[in-house]
Amino acid sequence: MKKLTFAFASIFILAGIAGPAQSSQVAAKTYVSCADVLKKYPNGVAINTKARNKAIKGGFTRPKVSKGLYKKNSKRLDKNNNGIICEQKNVLEITANPHSDVLGMKFFTKYVDVFGLGIYAEAGLSDAQVLHAAAILAELLDNDENGVIDDEALLARLVDQRAIIPMFNGADYQPGESPAKEDLSDNGGQLPFRFAAILYEREVDPWQPGHWGSDASVEEIMHTINEIGHVFIYPDAFSFEPGSSLLTEAMDEARGGRFLSVPKRYPKKSWYHYDDKTCSYSCMAAEYIYWAQVSNMEILNDSDTCSGIANEWEPCSQALLKKMDPLIYALITNPEYKLPQNAPNGIYKPTVG
């Protein structure tokens, strides 16, 4: 975890390295209607990445790329000959920054409203990346995608605090690439918005949602929701202060003791052993609940990811989490707190509303 210090706040982030967009080959099959196509490919099918990217820029959800499948069905189903069959309109829309006149905000050129919360992005972020982050935020707040917010008290808190997700050009390890970051650093003390995490262009990969090392969107947006929202509306459950909540009780168990700073060596019985000495106890709690949530969602459950994060976090699947850390598993799955249980896929398509 890297620490970015502005004059007004310390923001903890975990950087990822975005990999190239990938598309898999799909066996060509003949479909009678778009209704049949959408059962299998709910965002339609594009002939190539150029058509897909044009669709995204035009306000449509991200279609599957398959040249063979498109050609097999285009004569019947591509009514406007745009290289896509059965495209679906995106409920999220990129507009111009409505707060470019606010100190610290003038270099953000793209904006998406998500239930009254703002995604603000610099020009270097593609439309696909911006809509991806917006969809992740929407999916975490309306996790069953029925068009209704899962926790109205949570949304009310986030809106009241004017929570935002800033998205910067480049990467955090390459200074000078982001005028918005520099402007926000200089003027953040007067900012009328709050944010607990940030995203960079090179750590947002719409084609690998939440994948460790590729897409940090789920992590950073989850941090924002938890740190500005859950900690305050359910303090007995989620407060980050030592010995103050069910969360910190579980974390002390997971770390093998209540360590206010990183110990020289974690006990052998521990399964959460983050060793960044710049990370405070509260920072440890923020990371802990993130790891628990994405393990429960099965986002980490592949051999490469499990081995790659084992030095920090061991229960990388839902089954392991339930077995090794029953306290945090019980907390994050308790329906009283309405935490998201389903892994976001970067495509928000509410069935109602």
The 10s digit of each residue's pLDDT in 198-212 is 999 999 999 888 888
Q: pTM for this one?
A: 0.81
Please report the pLDDT score of residue 216 as a whole number: 94
Please report the pLDDT score of residue 3 as a whole number: 39
Residue-wise pLDDT tens digits, 297-307: 999 999 999 99
Please report the pLDDT score of residue 191 as a whole number: 85
Please report the pLDDT score of residue 353 as a whole number: 44
Residue-wise pLDDT tens digits, 147-186: 889 999 999 999 999 999 999 998 876 777 899 999 988 8
* Domain map (residue ranges) of the chain: 2-19+92-230, 34-85, 235-332
Spell out the SS3 assignment of 159-176.
HHCCEEEEEECCCCCCCC
Q: Residue 262 pLDDT > 70, yes or no?
A: yes
Residue 245 carries which side chain, given as an amino acid letter?
Answer: S
Average pLDDT score over the chain: 88
The pairing of strands 199-200 and 64-65 is unpaired
Please give the average per-residue pLDDT across 294-315, as a whole number. 95
170 close to 200: Cβ distance less than 8 angstroms: yes
Q: Residue 190 pLDDT > 80, yes or no?
A: no
Euclidean distance between CA atoms 170 and 107, whole angstroms: 14
Euclidean distance between CA atoms 298 and 293, whole angstroms: 9
Please give the average per-residue pLDDT across 86-112, as a whole number. 91
Please report the pLDDT score of residue 227 as a whole number: 97
Euclidean distance between CA atoms 98 and 111, whole angstroms: 8
Domain topology for 2-19+92-230: Glutaredoxin (3.40.30)
> 84: pLDDT confidence band, cut at 50, 70 and 90?
very high
